[in-house]
């Protein structure tokens, strides 16, 4: 079973939920945790795991043979990323950091002066602790193609999954609803949408649940710090009810979460009372997966 943990807004506690869910699952099932927040991956830190390099991630980039180039400027005109700077009567200049490897420049060049090479855009690491195999994708500083890293991370995770024959894969996605998040959600069986009782978190939650509906993936809401603002908590409840999306967990606001981050231990280890909360989330996921998917248009 593949479960994505997401939520739209950053800082709602996705990684805390993902790591604690993984720890609970790993008590009885072979579990893999995939950290797909490739710009700021920190699940391995939250689980005090040492990581080692598994593979590099590369992306194609163009290279020029200026002996063939007629300085026509077509490659610069076609590049939507503005990765090629062209000044009349000069050879094109290349800003490799913003190139996304689409190859349009190579296709359009009338002199066949452009061929493709590659650049490293990130790294995939593996680590292990709490009986969990932790697979981490990390974008190289200054690079933009986080979606590419997540796609490659998903591929490598499947490779490792096959070898380890794991039963549960938890994918901890980045915040937002962009390309890296979509690459984290696609192909999963269930989406755990983590939110908190604030207007911005509810706004972003609606957008991420809209994505879940679009991809026809069942989803449930976990409200972190639910007791922080009761009136707004009720607004989330009303929204969930009117859109037929179950609230699968409610996590109270306690200092244990801060201690969990400082001590680099999952919150279920800091305070075993939380085991009950995460066990209940797992039970609710299993229960919800047995019901039929309803393709309601979510009200965003």
- Considering only 3, 57, 113, 285, the residue that binds ligand SF4 (CB under 6 A) is 113
40-79 residues labelled b (16+ CB within 10 A) or e (exposed) = ebebbbbbebebeebeebebebbebeeeebeeeebbbeeb
Which residue in the set 23, 83, 121, 132 belongs to the binding site for ligand SF4 (CB under 6 A)? Answer: 83
| Cβ(25)–Cβ(168) below 8 Å | yes
Cβ of residue 216: shortest distance to ligand SF4, in angstroms? 32
Spell out the SS3 assignment of 200-214.
Answer: HHHHHHHHHHHHHHH
The interface region with ligand SF4, picked from 106-114, 120-128, 140-148, 262-270 by CB under 6 A, is: 106-114
- Residue 100 contacts ligand SF4 per CB under 6 A: yes
| Using rule CB under 6 A, residue 72 touches ligand SF4 | yes
Among 8, 41, 92, 266, binds ligand SF4 (CB under 6 A): 92
Contact with ligand SF4 (CB under 6 A): which of 21, 22, 26, 104?
104
- Tell me whether residue 13 or residue 92 sits nearer to ligand SF4 (CB atom): 92
Contact partners, residue 263, CB within 8 Å, separation at least 6? 270
Q: Which of residues 239-268 bind ligand SF4 (CB under 6 A)?
A: none
With CB under 6 A as the contact rule, the residue among 8, 13, 41, 101 that binds ligand SF4 is 101
d(CA 15, CA 184): 14
Binding flag, residue 79, ligand SF4 (CB under 6 A): yes
Question: Taking CB under 6 A as the rule, does residue 99 contact ligand SF4?
Answer: yes
Phi/psi of residue 62, nearest 5 degrees: -80, 155
Q: Which region, judged by CB under 6 A, interacts with ligand SF4, from 9-17, 21-29, 74-82, 187-195?
A: 74-82
As a whole number of angstroms, the distance between CA 212 and CA 132 comes to 26
- Is the separation of the CB atoms in 169 and 4 below 8 Å? no
* 111 binds ligand SF4, rule: CB under 6 A: yes
**End-to-end CA separation in angstroms for the chain:** 28
Please report, as ranges, the residues that interact with ligand SF4 according to CB under 6 A.
62, 64, 69-75, 78-79, 81, 83-84, 92, 99-105, 109, 111, 113-114
């Amino acid at each position: 079973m593949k479960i994505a943990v997401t939520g739209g807004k950053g800082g709602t506690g996705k990684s805390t939920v993902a790591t604690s869910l993984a720890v609970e699952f790993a008590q009885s099932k072979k579990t893999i945790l995939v950290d797909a927040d490739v710009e700021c991956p920190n699940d391995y830190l939250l689980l005090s795991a040492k990581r080692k390099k598994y593979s590099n991630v590369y992306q194609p980039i163009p290279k020029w043979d200026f002996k063939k180039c007629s300085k026509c400027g077509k490659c610069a005109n076609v590049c939507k990323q503005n990765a090629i700077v062209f000044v009349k009567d000069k050879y094109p200049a290349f800003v490799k950091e913003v190139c996304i490897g689409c190859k349009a420049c190579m296709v359009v060049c009338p002199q066949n002066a452009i061929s493709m090479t590659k650049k490293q855009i990130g790294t995939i690491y593996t680590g292990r602790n709490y009986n969990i195999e932790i697979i981490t994708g990390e974008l190289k500083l200054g690079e933009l193609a986080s979606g590419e890293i997540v796609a490659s991370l998903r591929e490598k995770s499947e490779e490792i999954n096959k070898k380890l024959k794991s039963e549960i894969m938890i994918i901890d996605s980045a915040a937002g609803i962009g390309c890296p998040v979509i690459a984290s959600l696609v192909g999963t069986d269930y989406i755990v949408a983590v939110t908190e009782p604030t207007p911005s978190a509810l706004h972003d939650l609606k957008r991420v649940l809209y994505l879940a509906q679009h991809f026809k993936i069942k989803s449930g809401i976990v409200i972190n710090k639910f007791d922080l603002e009761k009136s707004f908590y009720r607004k989330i409840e009303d929204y969930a009810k009117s859109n037929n999306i179950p609230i699968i967990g409610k996590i109270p606001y306690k200092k244990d979460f801060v201690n969990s981050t400082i001590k680099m231990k999952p919150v279920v280890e800091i305070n075993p009372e939380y085991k009950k909360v995460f066990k209940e989330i797992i039970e609710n996921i299993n229960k919800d997966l047995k019901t039929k998917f309803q393709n309601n248009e979510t009200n965003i």
